[in-house]
């Protein structure tokens, strides 16, 4: 029997070895498949626990909708900046830069140069005083001269006159009466002070309402002696003559006098009686 087995392996050794190898290979594959199956199952279990991208997006949308609904109902105060889009942020940044450019020193200086000559109002609030009743001026009374002096530049709205300092011809809505700086300036008639302001061209200007639509303005003043709403008479000192503004340096110190009737300029000499 032993001989026959030995002879069998000797005669069939190749087939036996091949069979054993096949069995070993099959066994190895079986073990690998088992292990791979376990890993795949574990990965599947892990993936099942993780939300998909679609689920995440849906969840975020639900949260956003819930927050907006809560804010709309007034149950929660959420800053509106939270809902800004990138475009809104960019627009806001652009606006901020524009504001900064506009308020820069260079921009302000440029605007100041291009803007009309501004007037710094000292007091012109018509509601801060009670208008006087009974003011009346017919334009024919013998009024008081505000200062005694020669006419440097006459009233001229129909033709132009030459302004030495400006070096040009232009119309003149008032008249310039020569007077040394410090000379008292008096009201030409009974009235009420309705405006006091500083201007670049005429310096400090006091306006007096005479009634009947007449108003008289006295410019190039200093040391103002009256206030807004004050009642004045034809001998009331309004202030004194100041040094001329830069517009009238060559003309010298003077009183600027202008008269309006119902808002229209008129020649002051038409109501000033020269004896």
pLDDT in tens, 153-171: 999 999 999 999 999 999 9
Mean pLDDT of 117-129: 53
pLDDT tens-digit profile of 187-212? 999 999 999 999 999 999 999 999 99
Task: Please indicate, yes or no, whether residues 25 and 155 belong to a single structural domain of this protein.
Answer: no
> Considering 29, 50, 71, which residue would you say is the last residue of a domain?
50
H helices of the chain, in order, are 2-49, 53-72, 86-102, 105-114
Mean pLDDT of 253-261: 98
Q: Is residue 234 part of a domain?
A: yes
pLDDT tens-digit profile of 166-193? 999 999 999 999 999 999 999 999 999 9
pLDDT of the residue at 143: 86
pLDDT of the residue at 80: 39
Domain count, the chain: 2
Task: Please indicate, yes or no, whether residues 43 and 125 belong to a single structural domain of this protein.
Answer: no
Task: Please indicate, yes or no, whether residues 12 and 141 belong to a single structural domain of this protein.
Answer: no
Place of tokens 């000379």: 183
Task: Please indicate, yes or no, whether residues 235 and 134 belong to a single structural domain of this protein.
Answer: yes
pLDDT-above-90 percentage for the chain: 47
Mean pLDDT of 149-153: 96
Mean pLDDT of 205-234: 96
Residue 127: pLDDT band with limits 50, 70, 90: low
Nearest Cα residue to 198 out of 184, 217, 213: 217
Mean pLDDT of 74-90: 43
Q: Residue 133: pLDDT above 70?
A: yes
Task: Please indicate, yes or no, whether residues 147 and 240 belong to a single structural domain of this protein.
Answer: yes
CA–CA separation, 154 and 156 (whole Å): 6
Task: Please indicate, yes or no, whether residues 45 and 125 belong to a single structural domain of this protein.
Answer: no
**Across 35-44, 80-89, 257-266, least confident range:** 80-89
Q: Is residue 56 part of a domain?
A: no
> Pairing state of beta strands 191-199 and 237-241?
unpaired
Task: Please indicate, yes or no, whether residues 125 and 225 belong to a single structural domain of this protein.
Answer: yes
Task: Please indicate, yes or no, whether residues 44 and 136 belong to a single structural domain of this protein.
Answer: no
Whether 207 and 232 have beta carbons less than 8 Å apart is answered as no
pLDDT of the residue at 78: 40
Task: Please indicate, yes or no, whether residues 129 and 44 belong to a single structural domain of this protein.
Answer: no
24 vs 37: which has the higher pLDDT? 24
- b vs e for 115-146, b when ≥16 Cβ sit within 10 Å of the residue's Cβ? eeeeeeeeeeeeeeeeeeeebebeeeeebebb
pLDDT tens-digit profile of 96-106? 444 433 333 34
pLDDT of the residue at 71: 47
CA–CA separation, 247 and 166 (whole Å): 6
CA–CA separation, 26 and 20 (whole Å): 10
117 vs 258: which has the higher pLDDT? 258
Q: Is residue 105 part of a domain?
A: no
Instruction: Give the domain range for residue 125.
Output: 121-270
273 vs 45: which has the higher pLDDT? 273
Whether 213 and 262 have beta carbons less than 8 Å apart is answered as yes
Q: Is residue 66 part of a domain?
A: no
Q: Is residue 89 part of a domain?
A: no
Residue 150's contacts (CB-CB under 8 Å, 6 or more residues apart) are 177, 178
Tokens at 150, concatenated:
């020669």
Query: What average pLDDT does the structure give for the chain?
Result: 75
DSSP 104: S
Task: Please indicate, yes or no, whether residues 134 and 263 belong to a single structural domain of this protein.
Answer: yes
Q: Is residue 99 part of a domain?
A: no
Task: Please indicate, yes or no, whether residues 142 and 39 belong to a single structural domain of this protein.
Answer: no
Q: Specify the CATH number for the domain of residue 257.
A: 2.70.70.10
Q: Is residue 20 part of a domain?
A: yes
Q: Is residue 94 part of a domain?
A: no
Whether 165 and 249 have beta carbons less than 8 Å apart is answered as yes
């Amino acid at each position: 029997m032993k001989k026959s087995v030995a002879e069998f392996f000797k005669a069939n050794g190749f087939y036996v070895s091949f069979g054993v190898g096949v069995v070993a290979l099959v066994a190895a594959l079986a073990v690998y498949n088992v292990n791979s199956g376990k890993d795949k199952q574990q990965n599947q279990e892990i993936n099942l626990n993780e939300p998909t991208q679609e689920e995440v997006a849906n969840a975020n949308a639900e949260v956003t909708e819930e927050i907006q609904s809560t804010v709309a109902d007034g149950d929660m105060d959420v800053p509106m900046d939270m809902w800004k889009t990138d475009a809104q942020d960019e627009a806001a940044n652009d606006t901020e830069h524009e504001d900064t450019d506009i308020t820069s020193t260079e921009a302000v200086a440029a605007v100041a140069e291009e803007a009309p000559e501004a007037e710094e109002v000292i007091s012109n609030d018509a509601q801060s005083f009670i208008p006087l009743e009974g003011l009346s001026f017919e334009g024919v009374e013998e009024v008081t001269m505000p200062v005694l002096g020669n006419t440097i530049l006459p009233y001229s709205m129909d033709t132009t006159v030459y302004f030495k300092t400006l070096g040009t011809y232009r119309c003149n809505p008032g008249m310039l009466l020569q007077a040394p700086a410090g000379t008292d300036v008096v009201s030409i008639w009974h009235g009420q002070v309705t405006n006091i302001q500083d201007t670049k061209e005429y310096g400090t200007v006091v306006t007096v309402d005479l009634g009947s639509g007449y108003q008289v303005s006295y410019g190039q003043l200093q040391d103002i002696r009256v206030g807004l709403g004050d009642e004045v008479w034809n001998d009331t000192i309004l202030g004194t003559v100041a040094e001329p503004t830069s517009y009238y340096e060559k003309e010298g110190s003077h009183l600027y006098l202008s008269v309006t009737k119902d808002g229209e300029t008129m020649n002051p000499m038409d109501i000033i009686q020269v004896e």
